[in-house]
Amino acid sequence: MLLKDKVAVISGGAGINGLGFATARQMAAHGARVVILDLERAAPASAAARLGDGHLGLVADVTDKTACIAAIEQAVKTFGRIDILVNNAGITQPVKTLEITGADYDRILDVSLRGTLYLSQATLPAMQAQRSGSIVCISSVSAQRGGGIFGGPHYSAAKAGVLGLARAMAREFGGDGIRINCITPGLIETDITQGKLSAERKADIEGTIPLARLGRADDVAGACVFLASDLSAYCTGITLDVNGGMLIH
């Protein structure tokens, strides 16, 4: 098992059809003890229970630094260490540039970008003390290609910010034995996409993708397992595309 005896924290991980829970499930299958963080209404404890015994679900709003610190302290108290952090929490909004309000901008950037910073800040001291760790930040192909299908320009900006933040942290913390990398998913079929694409529109999009299908949550989860494991021991500051060839660059 690639992650035997590792402890993994995954934000935004309680949605059963989402990227975070798919990652939690695969990491648990590879031997990790998983801590799922999410908002109270998402019921992270119930999601963790679905993984089996020995996992933990905690309520935490990643836009609240105090909540991030408290959650990480509880994870360390429970398991003694943190080996993996997956910064997955994010929200989107399909609006055009001239429609974006200040409140819209703050809301989208706070979860994806500020949340990535706050949860990383809360986790990094524990990893520094261990002299090891892997942080995986979930960005998006929309950060690379300038817009997506379900996200507005402020979403692209937030996810581009995640790329820059992760690269800067990778430079800063490499000497502590901490690797920090990004994944840029393409269009992945999750609860966000359900019912929002007609069969015709879906077929049109698939026709533009070399692998001729939309992504699945497990496609991204597998990439997270790779970056969390020793298989990627010499990878830091990288951006791993998981988009079926939607963007080749």
Residues serving a catalytic function are 155
Q: 179 in helix, strand or coil? A: strand
Whole-angstrom distance, CA of residue 116 vs CA of residue 113: 5
CB contact at 8 A, 148 and 141: yes
CA proximity to 125, closest of 161, 180, 178, 79 = 178
Whole-angstrom distance, CA of residue 175 vs CA of residue 249: 30
CB contact at 8 A, 186 and 246: yes
Rounded to the nearest angstrom, the gap between the alpha carbon of residue 225 and the centroid of all alpha carbons in its chain is 12
